[in-house]
Amino acid sequence: MELRYGLNDLKRNKAVNIALATVLLLSAFLMATGAMVIERAVSSVDQLLSQARPPHFLQMHAGDYDVAALERFAAAQPDVEAWQVHEMVGFAGAEISWQRPGTDQGGDLSASLIDNLFVTQNRDFDLLLAEDGTAASPETGEVDVPVAYQRQFGLEEGDQLTVRTDDGARTLTVRGFVRDSQMASSMSSATRFVVSDQDFARLTAGGGGDPEVIVEYRLTDESMAAGFQRAYEAEEALPKNGQAVTYTMIRVINTFSHGLVAVALAMVSGVLILIALLNLRFVIRGAIEDDVRQIGAMKAMGIASKDIAGLYLGKYRVMALAACLAGGAVAVGATAVLTRGLAADFARAEITPLTVIAPVAALAAVYLVVMTTIRGILRRINRIDVVTALVHGSTLTARQAARRARRQRRAAHRTDLANFRRGSLNTRLTWLGLRAEGRQWSLIPLVFFLSTIVITVPTNMLSTFESPRFVTYMGAPEADLRADLQFGDDLDQSRTELLSAMREDPRLTDVRSYANVVYETPGEDARGDAGWDSLRVEVGDYSGGTVEFSKGGAPEEGQIALSALNAGALGVGPGDSIRVRQGTEDAAATEVEVSGIYQDVTSGGYTAKMQGNIESGANSYVVYGSTGADAGDAAAVAAEYNARYDGVEMKPMRDYVQQTLAYVTDAFRTAAIVALVFGVGLAALITVLFLQLRLSRDRQKMGILFALGFSLREVGTQVLLKTVLAVGLGTLAGVAVANAAGEAGVGAVLSLSGMGLTELTFLTNPAVVYVLYPLGMVAAGCAGAAVLLAGLRRQDKSTWLKEA
């Protein structure tokens, strides 16, 4: 009986069932895809980390350092399994060119604004891997290039790479491409080229490059990295002129971008599931109302409510199961497309039991949620009264029917048209119809409300991360140019000369200089005893709204502003005080008040800012400037200053931020496109589904209107106006919620990533979010209505009055 009923229903309501199956399939597809992308990304990163064995703690450093102090420190730490000093020499992208032999193809790497570091292969850990997963080992005259440059510049094996040094050009042949466990993400500020020991010595001796080292440690237990970092930073003799990074941070950065795609897909899937459940409720309740007399007859014959519900449940069980199986199958192909860059950037993920468990669990969750909801809806059959069903054809009990009758009498009194004199009668009937059938029409605004959120939030995230103002979320003022001074024999003199030149340059405005200084604040050492932790502070002028503060405001004299991660680590907020000191252990500590909390994704998210002016003795300097409305290209200005001053690395800020966040913005762009296609398409599909059922049930009412003299155009206009009002209401509500509550939701997800962002204010594109998308949603709804209304012309209206 269940099979026969299901087949008959499929034949009778083909369009409805196809629409429902489509929504369920999309929900299952996106949920399975999100689960598989997360699993593949984590597995790929884990595979790379397993092969490359990155350090559990590393400290980058520019300048001289004491090897004996490093040896004493390592010997005193029982948790150190292995350690090494990884030497590097950096060259600007403009100093590195490439040429394809026998062709005119070539160029330089100046389009890349990150540091280009030439290194030799490590022996024990922090290995740079070739495409086959083995440690890259170029011969003399060869170089292994980062895979990111292979894509960005189209490099191929056999290309000639030329590095200009002070002693002349050094030409190397591209042997292959390497994957770097430390610097695979675009959020890394540098990338590494692997050369032989002989070529590294020549590049270093040739001059023109900036020497740098990474002090790296492998620990017996990676969970001890935070305590080990405190112990390292407490030793004054150890090199600290650079960023410190832990294993956890490396893992998070590598997984972040693909994880965002997966989270976005899962969020879209969750909304689609909610839309599917709303549609199931609408369709099943409508089917019960249509079949109420048959249900009453079956109950009168003694058939249990559970068995009657089984007639409906069987069809939807098969539909949900088929949608999950088909969605899972399609998700396999989609995952392959979304993760095709993982093997190149990280490593080829192994097939493990979790590879199967993750999507199966996601599909099982979709199936269980759908079936649980359907069972809840079908409980309505238990409450159907046999007499009311057979006599009145209603699913209501006698008491519910009496209450509805009273409401209808009051509504009829309010909607009396006898005294109607002004305005359009058609519009009046439309409005009265919506008010009387508000509960039935509530599906459309709900669906468009959810669909609008689905397409708006990813777009807002994309426009936020692509906006030039996003630099204020990276702990930096909004500017066109950024110049870093962190290498050289006399940084103070270089800073004075650069600052003077920039302030005298008529092309530049709002030139500001900041000094990076290491302070210390009370903390705990690796054993939990009282000690001092390093606190990297940027000192300069923060007046005039240079940085966005999520809490409090900019620091004044005697105050300090902390990044969100630093404030959390220290357990302080605006108005609290902390003790800081600078120099040796004998230096006096000073109480400073926390003025505000800001967000920062640079330097691991652990930074601080103080008001002041330091002209000498800083570890490094950074200078910002703006080109103004009528000035030339920021890139040309940066190239000019880089050529004029040694040790200065000037970058156009917009290009720098775009390159740094390339992986993130690519993830958001993918999510935005997927959400837009599915959101608009689903909204149009549900509109067609709803109106088809609605018109089928309202044929008798429309037949009466035709009998009273209303034309097909007028009746169709009523339906179209109802659709526009319902769609418009849902769309406007969705836009409002997406731009208000969406910020809090996205901020919560980003804060869990540990990237240094705790809140996010959307930097929206008003033309897209407030005009284009709402118009597109309304157009989708109207298009669905127009398609169905066009079919009314071919139907025999004379039979509508006979239909019950």
Q: Let me know if residue 311 belongs to a domain.
A: yes
Q: Let me know if residue 641 belongs to a domain.
A: no
Bridge pairing between strands 559-563 and 590-598: parallel
Which pLDDT band holds residue 73 (cuts at 50, 70, 90)?
very high
Q: Let me know if residue 226 belongs to a domain.
A: no
CA dist 702 and 706 (Å) reads 6
Mean pLDDT across the stretch 764-786? 89
Q: Between 270 and 89, whose confidence is greater?
A: 89
Q: Between 204 and 442, whose confidence is greater?
A: 204
Q: Let me know if residue 695 belongs to a domain.
A: yes
Q: Which domain holds residue 745?
A: 428-473+656-804
- SS3 readout for 666-722: HHHHHHHHHHHHHHHHHHHHHHHHHHHHHHHHCHHHHHHHHHCCCCHHHHHHHHHHH
Q: Let me know if residue 646 belongs to a domain.
A: no
Mean pLDDT in the chain? 82
Residue 724 CB contacts under 8 Å (≥ 6 apart), including other chains: 778, 781, 782
Identify whether residues 249 and 375 lie together within a single domain.
yes
Identify whether residues 800 and 662 lie together within a single domain.
yes
Q: Collapse the DSSP code of 222 into the 3-class scheme (helix H, G, I; strand E, B; otherwise coil) and give the result.
A: helix
Identify whether residues 256 and 357 lie together within a single domain.
yes
Q: Which of 206-220, 307-321, 515-529 has the lowest mean pLDDT?
A: 515-529
Task: Please state, in angstroms and as integers, the Cα–Cα distance from residue 643 to each residue in 94, 637, 649, following that order.
Answer: 10, 10, 9
In eight-state DSSP terms, residue 416 is: -
Name the β-bridge partners of 179: 129
Number of domains forming the structure of the chain: 5
CA dist 287 and 256 (Å) reads 46
Mean pLDDT across the stretch 44-66? 88
pLDDT at 610 over 80: yes
- Taking 3-state DSSP, the helix, strand and coil percentages for the chain, each rounded to the nearest 5, stand at 55, 20, 25
Identify whether residues 501 and 396 lie together within a single domain.
no
> Six-digit token pair at 458?
């990813």
Q: Between 242 and 392, whose confidence is greater?
A: 242
Residue with tokens 């369920």: 24
Q: Let me know if residue 225 belongs to a domain.
A: no
CA dist 627 and 652 (Å) reads 10
Identify whether residues 595 and 489 lie together within a single domain.
yes
Which pLDDT band holds residue 527 (cuts at 50, 70, 90)?
very low
CA dist 30 and 10 (Å) reads 25
CA dist 54 and 181 (Å) reads 6
Identify whether residues 308 and 375 lie together within a single domain.
yes
CA dist 107 and 533 (Å) reads 45
Task: Please state, in angstroms and as integers, the Cα–Cα distance from residue 674 to each residue in 26, 555, 679, following that order.
Answer: 11, 43, 8
pLDDT value of position 398: 61
> Six-digit token pair at 573?
């907020």
> Six-digit token pair at 605?
């998210």
CA dist 322 and 366 (Å) reads 12
pLDDT value of position 128: 92
Q: Let me know if residue 588 belongs to a domain.
A: yes
Identify whether residues 312 and 323 lie together within a single domain.
yes
**Maximum mean pLDDT: which of 333-347, 720-734, 735-749:** 720-734
Boundary residue ending a domain (626, 646, 668)? 626
Mean pLDDT across the stretch 341-366? 85
Mean pLDDT across the stretch 343-351? 78
Q: What count of other Cβ atoms lies within 10 Å of the Cβ of residue 545?
A: 12
Name the β-bridge partners of 481: 625, 652
Q: Between 179 and 414, whose confidence is greater?
A: 179
Identify whether residues 797 and 720 lie together within a single domain.
yes
Which pLDDT band holds residue 804 (cuts at 50, 70, 90)?
very low
**Based on the number of CB atoms within 10 Å of its own CB, is 102 exposed (0-12), middle (13-18) or buried (19 or more)?**
exposed
Residue type, 770: Y
Report which of 142, 175, 163 is spatially closest to residue 93, judged by C-alpha positions.
163
What does the pLDDT look like over 171-198, one tens digit per residue?
A: 999 999 998 888 876 667 788 999 999 9
Q: Let me know if residue 77 belongs to a domain.
A: no
Identify whether residues 668 and 793 lie together within a single domain.
yes
**Based on the number of CB atoms within 10 Å of its own CB, is 204 exposed (0-12), middle (13-18) or buried (19 or more)?**
middle
Name the β-bridge partners of 609: 538, 561
Residues in the chain: 804
Boundary residue ending a domain (219, 247, 269)? 219
At residue 488, φ and ψ (nearest 5 deg) are 120, 160
> Six-digit token pair at 796?
């025999």
Identify whether residues 177 and 157 lie together within a single domain.
yes
Percent share of the chain, pLDDT over 70: 83
Which helix H or strand E contains 564, and what residues bound it? helix 564-570
Q: Which of 91-100, 537-546, 750-759 has the lowest mean pLDDT?
A: 750-759
pLDDT value of position 752: 67
Q: Which of 50-54, 181-185, 565-569 has the lowest mean pLDDT?
A: 181-185
Task: Please state, in angstroms and as integers, the Cα–Cα distance from residue 200 to each residue in 65, 115, 141, 677, following that order.
Answer: 20, 16, 10, 51
pLDDT value of position 287: 76
Residue 303 CB contacts under 8 Å (≥ 6 apart), including other chains: none
To 5 degrees, how large is the angle CA 437–CA 438–CA 442? 125
- With b for 16 or more beta-carbon neighbours within 10 A and e for fewer, the 694-713 pattern comes to bbeebbeebbebbeeebeee
Identify whether residues 673 and 778 lie together within a single domain.
yes
Boundary residue ending a domain (400, 418, 436)? 418
Report which of 416, 417, 420, 392 is spatially closest to residue 405, judged by C-alpha positions.
392
Identify whether residues 494 and 468 lie together within a single domain.
no
- SS3 readout for 486-521: CCCCCHHHHHHHHHHHHHHCCCCEEEEEEEEEEEEE
